[in-house]
Structure 1
Amino acid sequence: MPKRRGRPLPPSEDRLLSRMRDWRAAHESELSPDGLDEDPDLPDARVISLVLRVGELMLASGESTEAVSEAMLSLSVAFELPSSEVSVTFTNISLSTHPGGDQPPITGERVVRRRTLDYFRVTELHTLVEQSALGLLEVEDATARLKQIQRARMPYPNWGIAVCFGLIATSASVMMGGGLIVATVAFLATVLGDRTSVVMARRGVAEFYQMTGASVVAATIGIGLLWVSIELDLGFQAGAIITGNIMALLPGRPLVASLQDGVSGSYVSATARLLETFFTLGAIVSGVGAVAYIAVRLGLDVDLEELPTAGTSMEPWVLVGAAGIAMAFAVSLAVPPRMLPAIGGMGVMIWVIYAGIRSVFEVPPMMGTVVGAVAVGVVGHWLARRTRRPVLPYLIPSIAPLLPGSILYRGLIEITQGTMVAGLLSLVEAVAVGLALGAGVNLGGELMRAFQRGGLAGAGMRSRPAARRTRGGY
């Protein structure tokens, strides 16, 4: 195998595409009228089980519907399942294969009932699929590797993930000039809110109320510090605590995945993920809004002109905060450690582009958000292709510095102070910024995909399922 700088080159993707073409040509010949197989062999049940289990684990760990479909089709081709069809929705996976001749089709199905975001397993599963597609693993080896991935521990301990969840709020507070005390309290408030949601989960409480409970705990602590700051004239940016907690809870992953599924033509999954996003957003709004309303009714006066925001600053502590948010978000999603430096750099990049565009051209926040998100989408897809890793672990944490936490907090305060129209407009702006983030990173991916030859299943610019249903397929 050729080498580059002393290291073996990764297996060529052309080899995968060539193997797929050869197999498909041979299979079509077998099913032609001249070469019809009178007594076809039944598909290997181990292969069907492997394909379904890999797809189930990928979907449950946070991968997009399109990527799961491509991975399952790649395994079907690699292990020669005849006439395979794959269907993946938000919670259901099915695989159908037809042996040919007079044999009936064989169909298997799996249901995803529990989701745990774990991009470490997603990355390992992509490696398993690629090695299988390139002929480096047999069925027994791939099955054994799958069991190892299922039993493997995440690269970070549970307490480390909880700490990094708090560091998201801390980094956001630093970006907004909250200072050491505010950043420390933001960390404690967010960790305490997260632990509250964990306790509620263990008691079987629905996830909506878990998110509401977490936001209530953190918002109460933030409002408490704000009251102390006003009474003692300390000048703390206590609102940064609530803003940081909101950014830690905002559903960046389902938002990006929903738009990605919609672009790829998986409209059922896209709708379900988007509904999940709005339910999570509703839980956050309910929790923070209730605390803010009670605080205003008790006489706490919040000055809208002094609400925390990073604006378009590019001061060193703001850039450090942007990198910190991205990397802490990545750790909370169990992204492999070797990917963290690139993610931190992309977090700084998206903020610099956003702030630079707004400062130079004086455009609204949405325009800066779209441009920054597109740049991250292009770089993230390029890195994923170059390193042969899934793209979502690069994209989801990198957009975290632009999540609309401060806009959402402003809207809730405006509503509690009686300016309903202004508050609703701020909430709509927050939703629009979130959608701009998701659309931007997906547009960056589409720009990269338009010029690539293939992916895990050879689904490039000439063979994308969604494209075949539109004018691009004619």
Structure 2
Amino acid sequence: MEAALRGGREPGVGTDAYATLDLALRVGELLLAGGDTAESVDLAMARIARAYGLPHTENNVTLAAVGMSYMPRGDRPPVTAERRVRRRTPNYTRLVAVDGLVREAAAGRLGFQQAKFRLSDIIGRPTAYPGWAQAVALSVLGAAGAVLVGGDGSAALAAFAATILGDRTGAMLGRRGITDFFQMALAAAIGTLVTVLLVATDAPVPSGTVIIGVVIALIPGRALVVSMQDGIAGDLVTGTTRLVEVLFIIIAILSGIGSVTYVAARNGVPISLEHLPTAPTSVAAPQTLGAGAIAASFAVFHLVSRTLLPPVALGGMLAWAVLVEMRGLHLPAAPATAIAATVVGLLGTAYARLAHVPALVCVTPCIAPLMPGTLMYRGMLELTTGRTGPAALVLAEALATALAIGAGVYIGGELLRVARPARRVLRPPRRVRDSRPQ
């Protein structure tokens, strides 16, 4: 990450303008790197600038950079600054802390120097969970995903092993500079290989649930939700870029699954659609608890604070229950998922307002149980057996279901905004006295 200021310090433009822009850009950079939407980043930057004396700024937020320009009154030249985001690592605990800083600054309860020191403290804090806990959480997510689609204890154990093996192998490749695309493809291939070995050895394990659990763990649910929110909100450049990123990751997962299943089928391994689990038609305790475990594991992996884990787990169980009930009414996968995501988006946003945290932190983990892992695996099996037409239809349904998740979450938040609009940019508050650069 780096910062660049363009335009010299011209007479009549105080250094406080540069300091305020720098603070606003650092806030925007942390929010964007932490996984927030372009709309939220833009709003936070505007609130910081307005709170510390720059009421009229033009902001530019893209996936790789945040920029801000201030036009002083009179004949003075504009002040323009930009910070680039080199690495985007979701950290929802930091996201909540920065959001709290913005709220206090906008309310006039935080002086400028206090805000600078507070932001430095947030940056220097250790993560909510160590790295090994994140790896274990992702593997638990895969195991819970296997249970979600009807797997037993042995399937959960196999999915746990396959997920952690794929994740650690991908991390090793990442340290050697291999791109995320090949990391995800290899992780999916390892999960599929475990499934193939279970089928080839006639192991008494529901093999289809294993690979579906791995796929649920690998699908980029956070990026999917944020991309749809950016696109619907009108940030088309950022939303389109995020969506393309999501599609490439999904293609990587499908490539890993397809390559292994094709080789296995050519070598006589009897992989067929019979190994796929059937969709549940009623709410059952094991699957509901599995959905809660998926949501909580997703939250730990994205560094959500411990205090939010219980409501997140409840939200995941609610999302799954609504989905099952909708499928019980014979709704197709995409509209049923959209309804479940809308319910989660509405209630999750309402809870986030009460807890004074960004809605993304409460909502995104809850939609993890809705990921179309079964459809993706079914589509690749159809493709490897030469049934191109049915395969295209199933994969298109999987993509539509994935997009319905992001759209449903946004619609739920908008329904709450219609009933109770959230406060946007505040008027310049009366700041507490502090020392500023002059």
Q: State the TM-score bracket (shorter-chain normalisation).
A: over 0.9
- How does 1:302-313 map onto structure 2 within 5 Å? 302-313=271-282
- How does 1:125-164 map onto structure 2 within 5 Å? 125-164=98-137
Residue identity matched to 2:283 = M
Matched, 1:325 2:294: yes
> Equivalent of 1:251, from 212, 220, 224?
220
Structure 1 equivalent of residue 326 of structure 2: 357
Matched, 1:399 2:400: no
Question: Do the aligned residues in 2 keep the contact of 1:46 with 1:139 (CA within 8 Å)?
Answer: no
Question: Do the aligned residues in 2 keep the contact of 1:255 with 1:434 (CA within 8 Å)?
Answer: yes
- How does 1:10-409 map onto structure 2 within 5 Å? 43-229=16-202, 234-359=203-328, 361-409=329-377
Larger deviation, residues 138-147 vs 220-229: 220-229
The alpha-carbon deviation at position 90 of structure 1 amounts to: 1.2
The alpha-carbon deviation at position 333 of structure 1 amounts to: 0.7
| Closer/same/farther in 2, CA of residues 401 and 309 from structure 1, 3 Å limit | farther
The alpha-carbon deviation at position 102 of structure 1 amounts to: 1.5
The alpha-carbon deviation at position 101 of structure 1 amounts to: 1.3
CA distance in 2 between partners of 1:423 and 1:222 (Å): 20
CA distance in 2 between partners of 1:280 and 1:393 (Å): 22
CA distance in 2 between partners of 1:118 and 1:295 (Å): 39
CA distance in 2 between partners of 1:453 and 1:335 (Å): 26
CA distance in 1 between partners of 2:85 and 2:216 (Å): 27
Larger deviation, residues 41-50 vs 373-382: 41-50
Normalized against structure 2, the TM-score is what?
0.92
CA distance in 1 between partners of 2:414 and 2:407 (Å): 10
CA distance in 1 between partners of 2:285 and 2:109 (Å): 47
Residue identity matched to 2:20 = V
Structure 2 equivalent of residue 15 of structure 1: none
Q: Spell out, residue by residue over 1:271-316, the C-alpha distance to the aligned partner (whole angstroms, 9 max, x if none).
A: 1011001000011011111011111111111231330244233111
Q: Spell out, residue by residue over 1:110-152, the C-alpha distance to the aligned partner (whole angstroms, 9 max, x if none).
A: 1111111111111111001001111111111111111111111
Residue identity matched to 1:265 = G
Question: Do the aligned residues in 2 keep the contact of 1:346 with 1:376 (CA within 8 Å)?
Answer: yes
SS at the partner of 2:222?
A: helix
CA distance in 2 between partners of 1:336 and 1:457 (Å): 27
Gaps of 5+ in 2: 1-10, 428-438
- How does 1:393-432 map onto structure 2 within 5 Å? 393-432=361-400
| Closer/same/farther in 2, CA of residues 309 and 333 from structure 1, 3 Å limit | farther
Residue identity matched to 1:126 = D
Residue identity matched to 1:166 = S
The alpha-carbon deviation at position 417 of structure 1 amounts to: 1.0
SS at the partner of 1:345?
A: helix
SS at the partner of 1:86?
A: strand
SS at the partner of 1:427?
A: helix
Question: Do the aligned residues in 2 keep the contact of 1:76 with 1:84 (CA within 8 Å)?
Answer: yes
Q: Spell out, residue by residue over 1:45-100, the C-alpha distance to the aligned partner (whole angstroms, 9 max, x if none).
A: 22111101110111011111000001000101111114211111111211111221
The alpha-carbon deviation at position 424 of structure 1 amounts to: 1.3
The alpha-carbon deviation at position 207 of structure 1 amounts to: 1.1
Question: Do the aligned residues in 1 keep the contact of 2:127 with 2:303 (CA within 8 Å)?
Answer: yes
CA distance in 1 between partners of 2:226 and 2:304 (Å): 16
CA distance in 2 between partners of 1:183 and 1:288 (Å): 19
Question: Do the aligned residues in 2 keep the contact of 1:322 with 1:347 (CA within 8 Å)?
Answer: yes
The alpha-carbon deviation at position 357 of structure 1 amounts to: 2.1
Structure 2 equivalent of residue 441 of structure 1: 409
Larger deviation, residues 217-226 vs 393-402: 217-226
Question: Do the aligned residues in 1 keep the contact of 2:50 with 2:56 (CA within 8 Å)?
Answer: no
The alpha-carbon deviation at position 456 of structure 1 amounts to: 5.0
Question: Do the aligned residues in 1 keep the contact of 2:165 with 2:190 (CA within 8 Å)?
Answer: yes
SS at the partner of 1:369?
A: helix
Residue identity matched to 2:58 = E
Matched, 1:453 2:421: yes
The alpha-carbon deviation at position 181 of structure 1 amounts to: 1.3
Residue identity matched to 1:381 = T
| Closer/same/farther in 2, CA of residues 410 and 133 from structure 1, 3 Å limit | same
CA distance in 2 between partners of 1:309 and 1:154 (Å): 39
Q: Spell out, residue by residue over 1:216-243, the C-alpha distance to the aligned partner (whole angstroms, 9 max, x if none).
A: 12221221122212xxxx4421121111
State the identity as a percent. Answer: 39
The alpha-carbon deviation at position 369 of structure 1 amounts to: 0.9
Residue identity matched to 2:27 = V
The alpha-carbon deviation at position 367 of structure 1 amounts to: 2.3
Structure 1 equivalent of residue 430 of structure 2: none
CA distance in 1 between partners of 2:271 and 2:351 (Å): 44
CA distance in 1 between partners of 2:278 and 2:299 (Å): 23
| Closer/same/farther in 2, CA of residues 148 and 123 from structure 1, 3 Å limit | same
CA distance in 2 between partners of 1:457 and 1:211 (Å): 40
Question: Do the aligned residues in 2 keep the contact of 1:64 with 1:257 (CA within 8 Å)?
Answer: yes
Structure 2 equivalent of residue 5 of structure 1: none
Residue identity matched to 1:384 = A
CA distance in 2 between partners of 1:52 and 1:40 (Å): 18
